[in-house]
């Protein structure tokens, strides 16, 4: 195929060099060339199509620039929104995790304190008060019978209410977090669709372009589409030039037929049914073919010399074989333009598909951010508030449980110490009784010695002494009596003890240990030895546990 420039040059004008005289062709030959030239003008449809392609390509480029700019803006916004959304989810998960850990630790501490308290209460139930401490007719009692558990029950009820409220708040937060995770799963699904769409668009863009920017198909499209548009515009201009050369060749054929004898009618007959599209108006980038053809068809014939006629016919004969090559070149160029325009369509469709996928993710994120995200955040804040309030109650309850345990454990210790105190008092009582017995024996011995001495004195000296010299000379010695008095209250017992024995009660017949009137004597239970030993062992064991 001859190049467009050579074809255009050879068809456009007669060559300057002189030609050897040749036999002029017959009219039929010229008419056949005219008919061929007329058929070649049907290539104008390709030129019109080229103009449509250029216009559509410009529109596609403009749309692509708008879509790419919007997509880039949305993508930057999506990156920030996604980062913020996942950061919020991480913060909420941290709140949930920290709350669960602290709640679990609080429950563990409460359970341990409650277990210690219940163990102490069980020990109170198992510890039977020795019968010697209680009235004879009373039924057997344990230490637990002296404890009021209403405080423990009220504390348990309050803690259970706090636990239930915390569990409810935590369950609401878990439900909210699951819904949040479902939203994130849907977003990830939309992102996978976005990535697959981008990847597919990248593949199509790579297949339709020699550029290697597969990771950014929108940038690739924008970087290649302007060069494609310039190529289309150049092709359209070249096709317009080729079409102009065909028009000039047609005009030359018309002129040659008309200048040939008998050819005027034939030329008018052939050109009388020119296609409407050939005789139409011009468009941007296209010559006004209709005006050119009509001007030649209707223009009067200028007289030509034989040499001019021969030169014209020679040019026509030289150009006639190349007209078909020009038609073929126009056809090839329009096919190439269709291919380039198809590539631009693929680029534009890739941008549109990426834009649609980006808009889908953006709409999803916008829906979450405007409606459901505030609820998820509010639920987390509600859990923080509830946990803060209930955690204070847990700490207070833990203190109360510890105080109750200390109280009841002190009760156990006090009872064991009571047993040891009773044993100590019995020991003191026995020591007092021993002192009393020893003193009484000594007093009795002194009394007997005194009586015997007085008797001897009366026998030996009584006959010599007047009876009225001293009235007491014949009296017997005094008796000492020990009086048991009630101890009263411990407060001020030691200072008052010195005044509790009246002087007149110091003597009595036969040195007996007497009771003071109707006052009851202090009764100290006489506990078995094994009871005392068990109490001492329990106290010793608790001391080791404490240490």
Q: What is the DSSP string of 171-214?
A: HHHHHHHHHHHHHHHHHHHHHHHHHHHHHHHHHHHHHT-S---T
Nearest-angstrom CA–CA distance, 373 and 430 = 84
Mean predicted confidence (pLDDT) in 398-407: 93
Q: Looking at 130-139, 228-237, 313-322, 386-395, which range is the least confident one?
A: 313-322
- The span from the CA of 287 to the CA of 241, in Å, is 8
- 344-348, 362-366, 389-393, 513-517: which has the highest mean pLDDT? 389-393
pLDDT at 35: 81
53: pLDDT strictly greater than 60: yes
What end-to-end distance do the CA atoms of the chain give, in Å?
A: 111
Q: What is the mean pLDDT of residues 340-357?
A: 86
Contact 190, 99 (CB under 8 A): no
Q: How confident is the model at residue 20 (pLDDT cuts 50, 70, 90)?
A: very low
pLDDT confidence of 262, banded at 50, 70, 90?
low
Q: Mean pLDDT in the chain?
A: 79
What are the tokens at 165? 């409220």
Instruction: Give the per-residue pLDDT at 510.
Output: 44
Structure tokens at 472: 């007491």
- Kindly report which listed range (293-297, 327-331, 435-439, 534-538) carries the lowest average pLDDT score: 293-297
277 vs 394 pLDDT, higher one: 394
Name the least confident of 32-36, 123-127, 157-161, 327-331: 32-36
Nearest to 220 by CA among 235, 196, 204, 232: 204
Question: pTM of the full predicted structure?
Answer: 0.60
Res 273 pLDDT > 70: no
**Contact call for residues 143 and 412 (beta carbons, < 8 A):** yes
Determine the average pLDDT of the residues in 193-217.
Answer: 59
Structure confidence at residue 300 as a pLDDT band (50, 70, 90): low
Q: What's the pLDDT at 234?
A: 93
Tell whether the model's pLDDT for residue 62 goes beyond 70.
yes
Residue 277, both tokens:
């599209």
For residue 369, count CB atoms less than 10 angstroms from its CB and return exposed for 0-12, middle for 13-18, buried for 19 or more. Answer: middle
**What residues pair up with 482 in beta bridges, in sequence order?**
513
Burial label for 354, CB within 10 Å (0-12, 13-18, 19+), is buried
CA 343 to CA 208: how far, in whole Å?
Answer: 5
Q: What are the residue boundaries of the structural domains of the chain, listed by start?
A: 24-393, 407-462+475-486+500-546
């Amino acid at each position: 195929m001859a190049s467009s420039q050579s074809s255009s040059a050879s068809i456009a004008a007669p060559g300057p060099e002189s030609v050897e005289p040749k036999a002029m062709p017959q009219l039929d030959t010229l008419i056949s060339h005219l008919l061929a030239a007329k058929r070649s003008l049907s290539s104008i449809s390709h030129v019109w199509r080229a103009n449509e392609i250029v216009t559509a390509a410009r529109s596609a480029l403009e749309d692509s620039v708008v879509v790419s700019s919007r997509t880039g803006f949305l993508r930057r916004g999506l990156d920030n929104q996604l980062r913020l959304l996942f950061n919020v989810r991480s913060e909420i998960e941290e709140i949930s995790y920290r709350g669960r850990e602290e709640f679990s630790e609080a429950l563990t501490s409460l359970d341990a304190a409650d277990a210690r308290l219940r163990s102490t209460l069980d020990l109170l139930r198992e510890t039977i008060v020795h019968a010697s401490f209680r009235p004879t007719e009373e039924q057997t009692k344990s230490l637990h019978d002296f404890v009021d558990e209403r405080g423990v029950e009220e504390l348990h009820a309050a803690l259970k209410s706090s636990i239930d409220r915390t569990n409810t708040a935590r369950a609401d937060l878990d439900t909210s977090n699951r819904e949040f995770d479902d939203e994130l799963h849907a977003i990830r699904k939309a992102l996978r669709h976005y990535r697959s769409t981008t990847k597919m668009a990248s593949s199509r863009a790579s297949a339709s372009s020699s550029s290697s920017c597969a990771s950014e198909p929108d940038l690739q499209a924008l970087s290649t589409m302007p060069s494609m548009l310039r190529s289309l515009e150049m092709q359209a201009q070249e096709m317009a030039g080729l079409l102009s050369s065909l028009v000039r060749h047609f005009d030359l054929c018309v002129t040659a037929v008309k200048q040939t004898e008998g050819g005027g009618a034939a030329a008018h007959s052939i050109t009388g049914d020119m296609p409407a599209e050939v005789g139409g108006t011009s468009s941007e980038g296209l010559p006004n073919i209709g005006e050119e053809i009509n001007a030649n068809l209707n223009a009067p014939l200028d007289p030509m010399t034989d040499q001019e006629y021969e030169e014209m016919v020679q040019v026509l004969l030289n150009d006639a074989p190349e007209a078909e090559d020009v038609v073929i070149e126009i056809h090839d160029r329009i096919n190439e333009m269709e291919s380039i325009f198809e590539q631009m369509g693929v680029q534009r469709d890739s941008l549109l598909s990426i834009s649609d996928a980006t808009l889908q993710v953006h709409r999803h994120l916008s829906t979450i951010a405007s409606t459901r995200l505030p609820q998820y955040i509010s639920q987390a804040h509600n859990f923080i508030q509830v946990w803060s309030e209930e955690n204070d109650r847990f700490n207070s309850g833990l203190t109360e449980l510890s105080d109750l345990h200390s109280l009841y454990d002190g009760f156990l210790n006090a009872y064991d110490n009571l047993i040891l105190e009773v044993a100590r008092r019995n020991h003191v009582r026995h020591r007092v009784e021993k002192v009393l017995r020893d003193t009484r024996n000594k007093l009795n011995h002194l009394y007997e010695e005194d009586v015997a001495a007085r008797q001897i004195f009366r026998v030996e000296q009584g006959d010599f002494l007047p009876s009225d010299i001293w009235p007491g000379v014949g009296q017997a010695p005094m008796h000492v009596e020990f009086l048991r008095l009630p101890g009263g209250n411990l407060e001020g017992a030691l200072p008052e003890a010195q005044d509790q024995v009246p002087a007149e009660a110091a003597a009595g017949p036969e040195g007996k240990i007497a009771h003071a009137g109707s006052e009851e004597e202090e009764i100290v239970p006489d506990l078995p030895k094994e009871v005392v030993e068990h109490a001492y062992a329990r106290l010793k064991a608790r001391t080791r546990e404490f240490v």
